[in-house]
């Protein structure tokens, strides 16, 4: 099913509640950034830092690897998802790991690491409460910061076989269950929000403390991270830590912002993953590499709020997902750039100023450049004869057929009456 | 000026679910912070220990004179791995209800000296 059908289904079931919950977060965000008078200056600086990063990515990666090794951290480079998963498996096999605790990482989702490890008989426990909820439900996260935003407390009670639906009770229950897993895991895997090039540090931000438990309890901690997460220095880190949580959930900062260097009681390994990122540098969509995954564009999007993350079918949904998904599979996700009203709200909230409106229009061209109907339409715009011919065909087609075949949107909207007179003679 | 920064730190610490301790309860895990940040109530702890996350209650000792205005200024003093902590661990993953004590401490108190 494509976005439109899945969106209609979701909206009927859960749309209003979902919309309301996300709009409340957007309002919290607005309040948080009003508390920072220099917010627009921070955005400009953040955008400039990220422009610098994508123009100097290769050099920054080399600098990061050198400094991380000096710090006492092992670093691997994986060119794609397959290579990443194989490195992880090799590292886990070396210590004969049977169970790993994983903290939120969109990159491991991008690489389908869970499925790969399960196939190789390694038990993967997602530890972020929201991610654990969706894992137990056999689903994928529907939002990159609020993975279980599409579920209710009754849904959570059900997967735990509980009749009590009190959120504090359910949270405590999950805490107790997962604490046992943390204490008996052979390794921890997490993502990273930032990599500091001139220090070789990886920085992870969470509210729950799960990444920290996963990093400190087992003897092995693997950090899987996309290469675009590199920033030049600690000063830049300060800037991004001011912005990330405020823009994501309206908190002034996440509960934990951990700067990881060498691991005291074991081994820490960082796997830098390309998986198409270097290639994207040479496309019109290179600015998507500026993204810090704050999720504000999802939360604010009027289409996302009403259609839910799963309607996008890609691991990163919402406006940023509509740019990333077609780059992975142009045909499968050719509907996503159209799941958009071009209202520009995503662009207004983006902390690194990704030009969403321009990029989404460009993506519409990219996914339709082989579409025969679009080609015909384009041709007809360049020739008066063709234009007249097509306009005649359209005029002669009965309205119900026109509505049904030419425009999915008209399922819920009436096509305006076609004027008797043409403006072209 | 100093007092204004301290007030802001306390206000934001409380917003993050943290508390100010008049004395350190006996059975709480104790550690010290090198720095506090007024704009978000976070403290910088470089003693990265298991008990900092496994304990239900954590007390962090902080020198009143070591509070800076914001994260950008905090970075001038940071030259090692460690962790910024802002209040107790928390989650809103069960239907957007905020609950303190997700995986880490349920209570985090700052003891000012």
Question: Which residue stretches of chain A have pLDDT < 50?
Answer: none
In whole angstroms, what is the distance from residue A50 CA to residue A48 CA?
Answer: 5
Owning domain of residue B58: 2-112
Distance from CA of A72 to the nearest CA of B (A): 12
Nearest to B42 among A178, A253, A259 (CB): A253
In whole angstroms, what is the distance from residue A421 CA to residue A390 CA?
Answer: 15
**One domain for residues A92 and A233:** yes
CB contact under 8 A, B81 and A256: no
Confidence (pLDDT) at B1: 57
Tell me the angle at which helices A318-328 and A356-368 cross, rounded to the nearest 10 degrees.
Answer: 30
Q: Does residue A340 sit within a domain?
A: no
Q: Is the pLDDT assigned to residue B81 strictly greater than 60? A: yes
CB contact under 8 A, A213 and B101: no
CB contact under 8 A, A172 and B72: no
Q: CA of A50: how far to CAs of A36, A233, A260, A288, in Å?
A: 21, 12, 22, 10
Confidence (pLDDT) at B74: 97
CB contact under 8 A, B73 and A238: yes
Residues of chain B contacting A36 with CB distance shorter than 8 Å: 39
Distance from CA of A373 to the nearest CA of B (A): 44
CATH at residue B89 = 3.40.50.10420
Q: Does residue A255 sit within a domain?
A: yes
* Strand, coil or helix: A336: helix
- Interchain contact A262–B (C-beta under 8 A): yes
Owning domain of residue A170: 37-278
Paired tokens of A330 = 């142009």
Q: Does residue A20 sit within a domain?
A: no
Among candidates A296, A368, A372, A366, which has minimal Cα distance to A324? A366
Residues of chain A contacting B95 with CB distance shorter than 8 Å: 21, 151-153, 156, 167
| Assembly ipTM | 0.97
Confidence (pLDDT) at A408: 66
Q: Is the pLDDT assigned to residue B84 strictly greater than 70? A: yes
Chosen from B10, B16, B81, B98 to mutate, greatest number of chain A CBs within 10 A? B81
Max CA separation in chain A (angstroms)? 81
Confidence (pLDDT) at A244: 98
Q: Does residue A12 sit within a domain?
A: no
In whole angstroms, what is the distance from residue A292 CA to residue A207 CA?
Answer: 17
Number of domains in chain B: 1
CATH at residue A82 = 3.40.50.10420
Confidence (pLDDT) at A58: 97
Q: State the CB neighbour count (10 A cutoff) for residue A269.
A: 20
Confidence (pLDDT) at A406: 64
Cβ atoms of A218 and A172 within 8 Å: the answer is no
Tell me which chain B residue has its CA closest to the CA of residue A174: B102
Q: State the CB neighbour count (10 A cutoff) for residue A277.
A: 17
Confidence (pLDDT) at A399: 80
Q: CA of A357: how far to CAs of A276, A416, B105, in Å?
A: 23, 26, 43
H or E stretch covering A45: helix A39-55
Q: Does residue A406 sit within a domain?
A: yes
Cβ atoms of A267 and A221 within 8 Å: the answer is yes
H or E stretch covering A25: helix A16-34
Residues of chain B contacting A133 with CB distance shorter than 8 Å: 93-94
In whole angstroms, what is the distance from residue A58 CA to residue A263 CA?
Answer: 26
In whole angstroms, what is the distance from residue A313 CA to residue A316 CA?
Answer: 8
């Amino acid at each position: 099913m494509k976005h439109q059908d899945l969106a209609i289904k979701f909206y009927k079931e859960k749309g209003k509640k979902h919309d309301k919950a996300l709009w409340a977060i957007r309002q919290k965000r607005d309040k948080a950034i009003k508390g920072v008078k220099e917010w627009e200056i921070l955005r400009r600086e953040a955008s400039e830092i990220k422009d610098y990063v994508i123009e100097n990515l290769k050099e920054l990666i080399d600098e990061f690897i050198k400094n991380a090794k000096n710090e006492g951290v092992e670093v691997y480079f994986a060119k794609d998802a397959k290579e990443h998963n194989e490195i992880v498996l090799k590292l886990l096999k070396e210590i004969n790991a049977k169970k790993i605790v994983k903290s939120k990482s969109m990159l491991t989702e991008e690489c389908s690491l869970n499925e790969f490890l399960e196939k190789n008989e390694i038990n993967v426990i997602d530890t972020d409460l929201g991610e654990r909820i969706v894992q137990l439900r056999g689903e994928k996260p529907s939002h990159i910061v609020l993975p279980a935003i599409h579920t209710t407390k009754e849904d959570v009670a059900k997967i735990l076989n509980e009749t009590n639906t009190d959120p504090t009770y359910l949270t405590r229950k999950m805490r107790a269950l997962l604490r046992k897993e943390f204490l008996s895991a052979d390794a921890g895997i997490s993502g990273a929000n930032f990599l500091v090039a001139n220090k070789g540090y990886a920085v992870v931000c969470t509210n729950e403390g799960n990444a920290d438990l996963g990093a400190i309890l087992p003897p092995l901690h693997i950090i899987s991270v996309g290469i675009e997460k590199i920033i030049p220095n600690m000063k830049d880190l300060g800037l991004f830590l001011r912005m990330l949580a405020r823009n994501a959930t309206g908190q002034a900062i996440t509960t934990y912002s951990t700067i990881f260097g060498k691991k005291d009681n074991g081994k820490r390994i960082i796997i830098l993953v390309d998986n198409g990122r270097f290639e994207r540098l040479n496309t019109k969509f290179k600015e998507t590499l500026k993204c810090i995954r704050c999720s504000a564009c999802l939360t604010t999007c009027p289409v996302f709020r009403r259609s839910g993350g799963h309607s996008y079918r890609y691991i990163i949904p919402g406006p940023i997902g509509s740019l990333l998904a077609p780059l992975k599979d142009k045909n499968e996700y050719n509907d996503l750039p159209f799941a958009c009203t071009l209202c520009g709200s995503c662009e207004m909230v983006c902390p690194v100023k990704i030009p969403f409106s321009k990029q989404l229009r460009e993506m519409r061209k990219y996914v339709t450049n082989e579409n025969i109907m679009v080609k015909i339409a384009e041709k007809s715009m360049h020739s008066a004869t063709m234009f007249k011919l097509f306009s005649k065909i359209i005029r002669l087609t009965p309205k119900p057929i026109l509505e049904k075949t030419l425009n999915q949107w008209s399922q819920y909207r009436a096509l305006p009456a076609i004027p008797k007179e043409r403006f072209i003679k | 000026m100093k007092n204004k920064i301290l007030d802001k730190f306390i206000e934001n610490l409380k917003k993050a679910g943290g508390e100010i301790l008049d004395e350190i309860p006996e059975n709480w895990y104790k550690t010290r912070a090198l720095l506090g940040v007024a704009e978000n109530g976070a403290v910088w702890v470089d003693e990265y220990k298991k008990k900092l996350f496994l304990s239900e209650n954590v007390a962090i000792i902080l020198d009143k004179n070591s509070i800076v205005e914001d994260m950008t200024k905090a970075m001038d003093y940071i030259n090692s791995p460690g962790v910024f902590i802002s209040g107790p661990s928390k989650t809103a993953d069960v239907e957007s209800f905020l609950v303190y004590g997700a995986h880490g401490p349920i209570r985090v108190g700052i003891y000012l000296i």
